[in-house]
């Protein structure tokens, strides 16, 4: 009897039950050592089928991890953002495995999941081309059919480093030697082993629908001084339908690529002799930019901003005082020696605006003061990062600095938010707001109270305007909390950068920026940084893609083109042109000795919003036959009626109906 009791007690120890709390609050009792996969199977076959990983006490883990103690558990399925990311990361491993099978002497870099896909970097003795992607895809399909498990292994760092060194994986050795932990993890998949934190899908058969997209060069760790690797990009989705929809969007995005449209529409170019990342604006592109700038200037004057102009170079002393050289020198260009004094091309406009403010004693009665400048700045970007207008080395910021008292912050930020919504709205852009708070590494000269006061002022402004926002913890600048506005275009793509409003806690102290208060004493001035368009170059690139090159009439470099069918109609066409130009319409006459169908095709290719065809009948009736981008062939319209119509569209800045 005693032996039986002892045996029962031993079994209780070995088969100890643990409590697993599920997202709905229910609790499952399982034996210690049970896995998330077993829990998913107990809950339901559908959940088990779609499961790719699990979250245990807020930590993502593999489905086969033994659960040894009470915990909170949620199952991650492939149709969730987290599940897709895990599956895509696993797809990167499978791609690396396929490349390793197909090519000799591969050295593996890194292979993360990214937005909508994944990539992996390879050091190969031979070049991979786009033609090779199908072969790699086929090998990936074979690996998927093997349902090879993703098996985790942990090794001491020294042993892990030696393993990678023996395998000739020098890039992995470099990564391991920078890891502070004493133990690192690897994943084995179909004969391929990779340094990785995980988690991963249970086996390769759980891969969704995937496609390899392109090959590009990439410097190891993004440094031009390092070896250039070959990067293969791919995408993966839970279902084939989702993949095909994504490919359709990619094809549409390719048609809208601003670099392609920039060439086709003769808007801008780059030239190696001028320098990489420096934009040459052609007449047609310059017109679009000028229209945007004119709109911006008029709106800012109306809103109480004062225009300023500041130099493109400045003494290095001002950037040492501002802290830009100690903090950002790697993005600044080397000094110019002028009269034995070091100068820099400006990376930003703030110090010059401060110097204008400090040319006089400012009273609280003078504030707020708002300075605005379309100021061109120059920042170093690695050549591999340059991307058309979206990433350049010389760009024009729609910069403004507001000098105000602490009590004016909320009202001034509200004003900027209102201005932001007005400007983005005129381009038909949707957007969302983020309150970006103090980062982990931040300006130490500002007190906790100052950080809190600035952050709360931004929050109050958002809430006073009843604007929905998300808090992006720790995403503020090192010197300022900020509001980030993220626009997204007609394809639903978020822009890389958008409007920003920052409460600067750095420069007022460094430059001793003060005003005289009601008490007759000097007080530290508040400086608000703000940009709405941001970089005009980037903004232009993004709206070219947003509109697919079909600018709304008010923005179009050529708003109407008159197409006479024969030379007999040229005098009438010229008279119609004078009438349009007299109302400020940007128009032309296509008087080439070509057929009207050729002229229509040419005007359509150049994305002219209105083509006005005139033949003998139109001359007789005093009309033009209107062909518009939005409505196609509209038939005859009296010249005066068309002039009234197009001028109204320009005046109201009408947008295409599809937006």
Can you list the positions of beta strands (E) in 425-467? 430-436
- DSSP letters, 229-254, are EEEEEEEEESSHHHHHHHHHHHHHHH
Question: Residue 198 and residue 184: Cα distance in Å, rounded?
Answer: 11
Reported as a pLDDT band with limits 50, 70 and 90, residue 12 is very low
Second CATH level (architecture) for the domain 560-652: 3-Layer(aba) Sandwich (3.40)
What pLDDT sits at residue 2? Answer: 37
Q: What's the CA gap between 304 and 371, in Å, rounded?
A: 9
Q: How far apart are alpha carbons 580 and 647 in whole angstroms?
A: 9
pLDDT band at 1 (very low <50, low <70, confident <90, very high): very low
Same fold, 82-256 and 284-310+349-546: no
CATH of 82-256, one of 3.30.980.10, 3.30.160.150, 1.20.1250.20, 3.40.50.300: 3.30.980.10
Q: Strands, E, within 420-525: which ranges?
A: 430-436, 469-472, 482-488, 500-504, 514-516, 522-524
- Which CATH number is 284-310+349-546 given? 3.30.930.10
Residues 78 and 49: their CA atoms lie apart, in Å, by 9
For residue range 593-650, list pLDDT tens digits in order. Answer: 999 999 999 999 999 999 999 999 999 999 999 999 999 999 999 999 999 999 999 9
pLDDT of 185 reads 94
CB 84 within 8 A of CB 185: no
% of residues, the chain, pLDDT over 90? 88
Closest CA to 174 of 220, 219, 105: 220
Known catalytic residues are: 350, 379, 397, 399, 401, 482, 529
Adjacency order of strands within the sheet including 151-156: 151-156, 183-189, 192-195
Confidence of residue 10 (pLDDT cuts 50, 70, 90): very low
Q: How do residues 519-567 score in pLDDT, each as one tens digit?
A: 999 999 999 999 999 999 999 999 999 999 999 999 999 999 999 999 9
Percentage above 70 pLDDT, the chain: 98
pLDDT tens figures, 434-447: 999 999 888 888 89
pLDDT at 262 over 90: yes
Contact 642, 626 (CB under 8 A): yes
CB 262 within 8 A of CB 269: yes
Strand positions, DSSP E, 505-643: 514-516, 522-524, 526-535, 560-564, 587-589, 610-614, 623-628, 632-638
Token pair, residue 428, equals 């038909």
- β-pairing verdict for 560-564 and 610-614: parallel
pLDDT of residue 246: 93
Which pLDDT value is given to residue 8? 38
What 646-650 contacts at long range (C-beta under 8 Å, 24+ apart), as own/partner pairs, is 646/553, 646/559, 646/560, 646/580, 646/585, 646/610, 647/583, 647/584, 647/585, 649/552, 649/553, 649/554, 650/553, 650/554, 650/559, 650/584, 650/585
Would you place residue 9 in the very low, low, confident or very high pLDDT band (cuts 50, 70, 90)?
very low
d(CA 190, CA 94): 8
pLDDT category at 180 given cuts 50, 70, 90 is: confident
Please check the confidence at residue 469 and state whether its pLDDT lies above 80: yes
Of 54, 59, 51, 56, nearest to 78 by C-alpha is 51
Choose among 399, 436, 382, 641: nearest CA to 533. Answer: 399
Contact call for residues 411 and 419 (beta carbons, < 8 A): no
At residue 5, does pLDDT exceed 90? no
As a whole number, mean pLDDT of residues 365-370 equals: 98
What pLDDT is stored for residue 225 in this prediction? Answer: 85
DSSP 204: G
Looking at the predicted structure, is the pLDDT value of residue 588 above 60?
Answer: yes
Q: What's the CA dihedral at 21, 23, 25, 27 to 10 degrees?
A: -30
Has residue 658 got a pLDDT over 90?
A: no
d(C-alpha 391, C-alpha 385), whole Å: 7
Residue 167 phi, psi dihedral angles, 5° rounding: -85, 0
Domain segments of the chain as ranges: 2-76, 82-256, 284-310+349-546, 312-346, 560-652
* Residue 240 Cα to chain centre, angstroms: 26
Q: 2-76: what fold? A: Ubiquitin-like (UB roll) (3.10.20)
Q: What is the pLDDT of residues 487-522, one digit of tens each?
A: 998 888 889 888 999 999 999 999 999 999 999 999
User: With 70 as the cut, is the pLDDT of residue 220 above it?
Assistant: yes
Nearest to 419 by CA among 295, 527, 544, 286: 295
Q: What is the pLDDT of residues 65-110, one digit of tens each?
A: 999 999 999 999 999 999 999 999 999 999 999 999 999 999 999 9
What does pLDDT average to over the chain?
A: 93
Neighbours of 319 (CB within 10 A): 24
Q: How far is CA 488 from the centre of its chain?
A: 9
Confidence band (pLDDT; 50, 70, 90) for 7?
very low
What integer pLDDT is reported at residue 15 of this predicted model?
56
* Whole-Å CA distances, 103 to 89, 124, 212: 21, 8, 17
Q: Residue 112 and residue 117: Cα distance in Å, rounded? A: 9
Task: For residue range 400-424, list pLDDT tens digits in order.
Answer: 999 999 999 999 999 999 999 999 9
Mean pLDDT of 283-305: 97
């Amino acid at each position: 009897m005693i032996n039986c009791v002892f045996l029962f007690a031993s079994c209780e120890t070995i088969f100890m039950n643990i409590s697993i709390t599920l997202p709905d609050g229910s609790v499952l009792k399982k034996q210690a050592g049970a896995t998330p996969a077993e829990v998913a199977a107990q809950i339901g076959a559908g959940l088990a089928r779609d499961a790719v990983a699990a979250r245990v006490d807020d930590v993502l883990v593999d489905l086969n991890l033994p659960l040894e103690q009470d915990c909170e558990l949620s199952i991650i399925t492939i149709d969730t953002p987290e599940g897709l990311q895990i599956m895509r990361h696993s797809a990167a491993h499978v791609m690396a495995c396929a490349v390793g099978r197909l090519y000799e002497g591969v050295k593996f870099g890194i292979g993360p999941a990214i937005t909508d896909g994944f990539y992996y970097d390879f050091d190969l003795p031979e070049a991979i081309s786009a033609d090779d992607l199908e072969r790699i895809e086929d090998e990936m399909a074979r690996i998927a059919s093997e349902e090879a498990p993703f098996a985790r292994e942990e090794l001491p760092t020294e042993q892990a480093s030696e393993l990678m060194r023996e395998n000739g994986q020098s890039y992995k050795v470099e990564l391991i030697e920078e890891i502070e932990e004493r133990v690192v993890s690897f994943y084995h998949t179909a004969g391929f082993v990779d340094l990785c934190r995980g988690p991963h899908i249970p086996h390769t058969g759980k891969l969704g629908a995937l496609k390899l997209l392109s090959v590009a060069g990439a410097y190891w760790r993004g440094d031009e001084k390092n070896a250039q690797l070959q990067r293969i990009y791919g995408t993966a989705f839970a279902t084939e339908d989702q993949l095909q929809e994504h490919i359709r969007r990619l094809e549409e995005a390719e048609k809208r690529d601003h670099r392609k449209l920039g060439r086709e529409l003769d808007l801008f170019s780059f030239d190696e002799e001028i320098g990489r990342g420096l934009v040459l604006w052609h007449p047609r592109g310059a017109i679009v930019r000028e229209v945007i700038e004119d709109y911006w200037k008029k709106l800012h004057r109306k809103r109480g901003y004062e225009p300023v102009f500041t130099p493109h170079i400045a003494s290095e002393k001002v950037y040492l005082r501002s802290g830009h050289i100690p903090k950002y020198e790697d993005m600044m260009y080397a000094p110019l020696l002028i009269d034995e004094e070091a100068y820099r091309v400006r990376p930003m406009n703030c110090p010059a605006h401060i110097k204008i403010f400090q040319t006089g004693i400012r009273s609280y009665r003078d504030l707020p003061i708002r300075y605005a400048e379309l100021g061109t700045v120059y920042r170093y970007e690695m050549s591999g990062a340059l991307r058309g207008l979206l990433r350049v080395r010389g760009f024009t910021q729609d910069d403004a600095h507001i000098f105000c008292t602490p009590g004016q912050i909320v009202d001034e930020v509200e004003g900027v938010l209102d201005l932001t919504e007005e400007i983005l709205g005129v381009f038909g852009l949707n957007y969302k707001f983020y309150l970006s708070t103090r980062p982990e590494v931040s300006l130490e000269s500002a007190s906790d109270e100052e950080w809190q006061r600035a952050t709360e002022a931004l929050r109050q402004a958002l809430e006073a305007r009843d604007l929905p926002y998300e808090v992006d913890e720790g995403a503020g600048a090192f010197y300022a909390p900020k509001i980030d506005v993220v626009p997204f275009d007609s394809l639903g793509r978020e822009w890389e950068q958008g409007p920003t409003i920052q409460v600067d806690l750095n420069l007022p102290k460094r430059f001793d920026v003060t005003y005289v208060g009601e008490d007759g004493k000097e007080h530290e001035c508040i400086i608000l940084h703000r940009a709405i368009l941001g970089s005009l170059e980037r903004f232009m690139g993004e709206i070219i893609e947003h509109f697919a090159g079909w600018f709304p009439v008010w923005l179009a470099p050529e708003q109407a083109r008159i197409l006479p069918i024969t030379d007999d109609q040229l005098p009438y066409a010229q008279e119609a042109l004078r009438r349009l130009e007299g109302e400020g319409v940007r128009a032309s006459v296509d008087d080439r000795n070509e057929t009207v169908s050729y002229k229509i095709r040419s005007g359509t290719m150049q994305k002219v919003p209105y083509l006005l065809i005139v033949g003998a009948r139109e001359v007789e009736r005093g009309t033009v036959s209107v062909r518009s981008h939005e409505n196609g062939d509209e038939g005859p319209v009296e010249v005066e009626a068309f002039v009234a119509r197009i001028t109204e569209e320009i005046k109201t800045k009408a947008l295409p109906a599809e937006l």
